[in-house]
Every structure is written in structure tokens, then in C-alpha cells.
Amino acid sequence: MTPKKPMPKPFALTALTLCFAASTHAAEPHFCGRSTPHPIDQALAVASQRSGGVTVDLADAQSAAFAAWDKELNRVYAALLKAAGPERRDALRSAQRAWLAYDKAQDLWVATLHADEGTSSALNVGGAALQRRRARVCDLLNDLEGL
């Protein structure tokens, strides 16, 4: 009897991405500790379920969610800049520039980690970028609410 082979890493990571997208309603904590899922997460979950697991459809859903989180990031950042006042704006701008540099470097790093994963590579890299955007929106939103 031959032992079962472990699931290849690309499929495990893709499955993890799909699980996040499909479970934002139940198992995953809601965005930023809120009591309800964020509309972007809801839309991603619906689109992911509709995809039937087709990679290109999953990638499209992920891209739409990334664009929505990026727009939300810009909206929250602009509101925080306004609320921060002149005495805090330079520090916030500096922090955001540093985060953007980190995000870009992390994108390159994650892409090298998943370079040999075939079609699931884009989903894994995109999923990581999506989660970073989502987390940054949460951080800035918490800062905004703290002012």
C-alpha cells in the first residue's frame, strides 16, 4: 500500500483563498471586528461561489474585490488625512508611503514564492495582496475612529 501524497502547495493555498472568499459570512471573523460582513467581502463570497471553481472567474472576482478594497483604502485614507489635522498629516503621509513601499515589496516576494504554481499562482498572489489591502483599510479605519 502506498502512502497518500500530501496535497501540493499551490492547491492548498488556492483552497485557502477560496475558503476565505466563501466563508466571510460564517467562519471568518467579519471585517475589522465588525458585527456584520463588509459589502466587499459579501460580493467576493457571492462571486466566488458563482465561479464554480473556475480559475479565471475566481481571478475576476478577486480582481474586482481588490479594486473595491483599493478604492475603500483611498477613501478612508483621505478621510483620515482630513481628520488628522495639519499637525499630524506629515506623519500619516510618511506612514502611508512606507506601507505602500512594504506592499510593493511584499507583492514581489509573494510572487517569487508562488512562481512555480501554474494557474493557481495568480490566485495566491492576488489573495495575499487583497488581504493586505483589507488589513490596511482596517488599520486606517481604526485610526480614524480613534481621532
Largest CA distance in the chain: 70
Q: Please, what is the average pLDDT of the chain? A: 85
**Residue 22 contacts residue 45 (beta carbons within 8 Å):** yes
Going by C-alpha positions, the residue among 111, 129, 10 that lies closest to residue 65 is 129
Going by C-alpha positions, the residue among 64, 33, 36, 35 that lies closest to residue 48 is 64
- 116-143 confidence digits (pLDDT tens): 988 889 999 999 999 999 999 999 999 9
Measuring CA to CA, how many Å separate 54 from each of 49, 92, 120, 123, 124?
10, 40, 11, 11, 14
Q: Which residue has the cell 502611508?
A: 96
Stronger pLDDT, 91 or 25, i.e. the higher one: 91
Return the pLDDT at 36: 92
Q: Where are the domains of the chain?
A: 14-23+36-146
- 67-98 confidence digits (pLDDT tens): 999 999 999 999 999 999 999 999 999 999 99
